[in-house]
Structure 1
């Protein structure tokens, strides 16, 4: 059970704070609800206490898990590419992973899209999913690692500097000559 003031993560929404725990009458039945305010967009969610685990409400990751996510993002050994998968199938897969309560699933989407962007320009939909994943990852990492969100985003982007920076690629190409 979460307490008032505690930071929590709601899948696909991000980090929020439990503002209240209150009992409400919903359609004739009494329900105890967490009132959670999402910090990034000020949206208020009402989550039934007895259903919180089923919807994926969880505590914010700790420092160790934050470091594990950065290591996971850095490791490219599991990337197989988008070999033949069409965009619709990948979109559904990525959307499901962004709704997961496991932060590593969100990190997977971010890593895949960064690595796909190495080979082709991302479509509008892919860029939108990448921005959503980056927002979710950077916000949670900022709390897990006790840094601001821009610093967290910079750390993630630094892991993919070889993809993001054309100057780095040109420099690498010149060394091969």
Structure 2
């Protein structure tokens, strides 16, 4: 059970704050709802208390988990390189990972897309997924480790500086 003013994460939406818990009568039955305001865009969600776990509502990760996520982003040993997999299949797989709400899955998508971008240009959809993953990871880590989202973003961009620099060099050669 979450408390009022507690920070929570809603899958694919990001960090929100439980503003209140209210009861509403629907079809003759009373149900309790978390009223959650997503901090990045001020969207308000009504999440049934009884279904919160099923939809993936969870607390913001711990500092320890946040540090582990940073380490997983740095670790490139699991990346096997761009395998020529169809971008559409990758897009569906990565979209599912973003919807899962699991921060390690979201960080995986972010890292994979940075590293794939080193070998080939990302499709428009993949770039959007990369931006979404970056927003979700930086927002949650910022709250978890008590730093600004911009600082977290800068740290992640520094981790992939070699990939980003290579990307920019390739872009300049084409022009």
TM range (shorter): over 0.9
Q: Is the Cα contact below 8 Å between 1:162 and 1:169 reproduced in 2?
A: no
Match of 2:60 in 1: 60
Distance 1:151 1:59, change over 3 A: same
The answer for unaligned runs of 5 or more in structure 2 is 171-175
Distance 1:165 1:84, change over 3 A: closer
Q: Distance in 1 between matches of 2:167 and 2:96?
A: 35
Alignment of 1:67-86 (within 5 A): 67-86=67-86
Quote how far apart the aligned CAs of 1:72 are: 0.3
More helix by share: 2
Please give the per-residue CA displacement for 1:85-134, whole angstroms capped at 9, x wherever unaligned.
21111111000000112100000100000000000111111100000000
1:165 aligns with 2:136: no
Match of 1:21 in 2: 21
| TM-score, length basis structure 2 | 0.93
Q: Distance in 1 between matches of 2:97 and 2:165?
A: 27
Q: Is the Cα contact below 8 Å between 1:15 and 1:38 reproduced in 2?
A: yes
* Residues paired across the two proteins, number: 170
Match of 1:38 in 2: 38
| TM-score, length basis structure 1 | 0.92
Instruction: Tell me which stretches of 4 or more aligned residues in structure 1 moved more than 6 Å.
Output: 167-170
Q: Distance in 1 between matches of 2:71 and 2:169?
A: 22
Please give the per-residue CA displacement for 1:21-55, whole angstroms capped at 9, x wherever unaligned.
00011233211000000000000000001110111
Please give the per-residue CA displacement for 1:56-76, whole angstroms capped at 9, x wherever unaligned.
100001111110000000001
